[in-house]
Structure 1
């Protein structure tokens, strides 16, 4: 127990949806046995109230028939055996419907607490299930002590309820010994309904309280440590360092492709050293296209490549800043910059007029 305290205290983060889904797949869900008990008891009470009148009448008639003809049956004879077999079959058929109904109530008790699941994890063989040390720890764990306390409390409460329900009926219980079978069944039916109603009313509060408690314990058990949260994030989203490295490699490759386009540019518009935008235009294009752009060191590299390959460089700080902010690589320039860029390209074309004519 002392080893579990530090681990529990370190689980400060709410569980992720992935952690909850994995717990569900393993069959680890918030479940209260008291809720199942309530459904089974409520179902039994409902069946008792519905079936008891007809069952008691039929049972009393069969018993009366047996008692009235008791002298006609031979013990061990075929007629007596056939009678007992018939009565046993009737009882089994009569019990089949309540058993099926109780099975439905048991399934409903689980569906109310959690969505349907099918998992073999809880029934897989584990060494911890047969280990004496692990069994001893479970026997004296906090959960076992809590369950023991809950059992005693529930027994005391139900016992007190039964006492307060049956004590006023003590006179009826005394006369049952001298009453005829039909009257005994009727008294038993009325007392049974009262007992069921009282016990179900008390167990309703116990089931709700236990479900909330089990839900809280399950949520606390699913909580994660900070390290577990980080590890899960890395598994789902990828290691941030690796993602940063991949992003840097992509940016570097994109920059190299951009620089390779600079020698084919028509003009480089600069500011004069902080910004540089390389544009390309020919007579078959609807508008100039941005081949490359950059600031500071990248801008200087674009200028150097332009000078190396004799690409004209025009200093126009406002236009350079505007183009840098409004156009991306391999996109045509916005319409609002057509006039200013046309003036620059016209100037460049006049400088390179012999080349353009050729």
Structure 2
């Protein structure tokens, strides 16, 4: 694949790219959808609560605007009536406002979810550049916004003309109705007209939501090189991983060497291999290997063992067999039980001889290792 094709943003964004964009406040948003939800909610509330609010408004007018002569000349009365009128008005519109607040919170959650980012609200002085602003106006995004604005104007204007023609006679007859009935009837007409106008904006939403999702995905698409760089960054470069492996090996080796003074016996090659075994009689398990090494590490194991007075037994076949067949901190295989038992028996005899100042026993000279464990 050529270098040019590598630079084309043809790949879908990775989960890390999406998460980073979300942390920056970059999520799909449709202002048209949010506006549509708010307008439809207000229209439904106006139809369902309109008469109740109208009757409440009439009650406030009757109670607060019909004042007796004695009350008018009371200096404290205007303030009392004003306070009561405000409380009654707030109580009247409280359900409407509360539901609108809930709608304003829920609407953004439907597309992209809810996110808060300091990065998104940081001042960006580059946006104050008038040349950049003019360039944005004539960019694809600016043209799309212009099309949406024209579509909304034409749509709302056209629907408004049709509604005006439909309700013209009803509006003219409102003057023949009693005041209370006329107000209720007018609210019904206004509410239904408002609902139809708001519902017509679904056409704009049906255009805007898919576009916003497509535009969001397009902006976050990645090149093949970006995906490779992200994978390299997340997994670590080979040099870093090599250093980490060396550090881990060094720590493991240090832990292994710390166990050598606790071993019961060191079995050697005698120069190239060294394995340290420990057997806990009360554990009910088999002996386990606590350390092993080749060449320099084998020399370090022998040096530590000599400093801690750990017995060393030279048995090249058994040393090689244990080295290749047993991992550190694991029990020896069953096939080597007999050979290791010979070595441990010698170690215990040597310990008893030293405690009683007897002559040291001879080390085992014929340790048999099964053919399947022999190395070379």
Task: Determine if contact 1:266/1:281 at 8 Å carries over to the other structure.
Answer: no
Unaligned stretches of 5+ in structure 1? 1-5
Matched residue, 2:13: 14
Q: How does 1:48-197 map to 2 (within 5 A)?
A: 48-57=46-55, 89=86, 93=90, 94=92, 98-176=96-174, 181-182=179-180, 184-197=182-195
How far the C-alpha of 1:166 sits from its partner, in A, is: 4.2
Separation in 2, partners of 1:151, 1:333: 80
Separation in 2, partners of 1:225, 1:12: 6
Task: Determine if contact 1:268/1:279 at 8 Å carries over to the other structure.
Answer: no
**The residue matched to 1:152 in structure 2 has which SS?**
helix
> Which piece of structure 1 moves more, 93-102 or 190-199?
93-102
Does residue 245 (structure 1) correspond to residue 236 (structure 2)? The answer is no
Task: Determine if contact 2:278/2:290 at 8 Å carries over to the other structure.
Answer: no
How far the C-alpha of 1:187 sits from its partner, in A, is: 3.7
Task: Determine if contact 1:293/1:329 at 8 Å carries over to the other structure.
Answer: yes
Instruction: Report the TM-score, using the length of structure 1 for normalisation.
Output: 0.66
Matched residue, 1:328: 327
Task: Determine if contact 1:47/1:98 at 8 Å carries over to the other structure.
Answer: yes
> CA-atom RMSD, angstroms?
5.2
Task: Determine if contact 1:20/1:222 at 8 Å carries over to the other structure.
Answer: yes
Task: Determine if contact 1:40/1:106 at 8 Å carries over to the other structure.
Answer: yes
Count of equivalent residues: 328
Q: Which of 30, 35, 40 is matched with 1:42 structurally?
A: 40
Instruction: Report the TM-score, using the length of structure 2 for normalisation.
Output: 0.63
Q: Which of 29, 43, 46 is matched with 1:31 structurally?
A: 29
Matched residue, 2:373: none
Separation in 2, partners of 1:342, 1:139: 88
Does residue 265 (structure 1) correspond to residue 260 (structure 2)? The answer is no
**The residue matched to 2:332 in structure 1 has which SS?**
coil
> Which piece of structure 1 moves more, 99-108 or 137-146?
99-108
Task: Determine if contact 2:289/2:326 at 8 Å carries over to the other structure.
Answer: yes
Task: Determine if contact 1:259/1:302 at 8 Å carries over to the other structure.
Answer: no
How far the C-alpha of 1:247 sits from its partner, in A, is: 1.1
Matched residue, 1:312: 314
> Which piece of structure 1 moves more, 190-199 or 141-150?
190-199
> Which piece of structure 1 moves more, 283-292 or 199-208?
283-292
How far the C-alpha of 1:118 sits from its partner, in A, is: 3.6
> Kindly tell me: are residues 299 and 176 of structure 1, through their superposed partners in 2, closer, same or farther at Cα, counting changes over 3 Å?
same
How far the C-alpha of 1:194 sits from its partner, in A, is: 2.6
Matched residue, 2:309: none
Task: Determine if contact 1:279/1:288 at 8 Å carries over to the other structure.
Answer: no
> Kindly tell me: are residues 265 and 109 of structure 1, through their superposed partners in 2, closer, same or farther at Cα, counting changes over 3 Å?
same
**The residue matched to 2:361 in structure 1 has which SS?**
helix
Q: Which of 196, 219, 226 is matched with 1:198 structurally?
A: 196
Does residue 221 (structure 1) correspond to residue 219 (structure 2)? The answer is yes
How far the C-alpha of 1:336 sits from its partner, in A, is: 4.5
Unaligned stretches of 5+ in structure 2? 307-311, 354-358, 364-376
Separation in 2, partners of 1:259, 1:57: 90
How far the C-alpha of 1:331 sits from its partner, in A, is: 3.3
Separation in 2, partners of 1:60, 1:217: 50
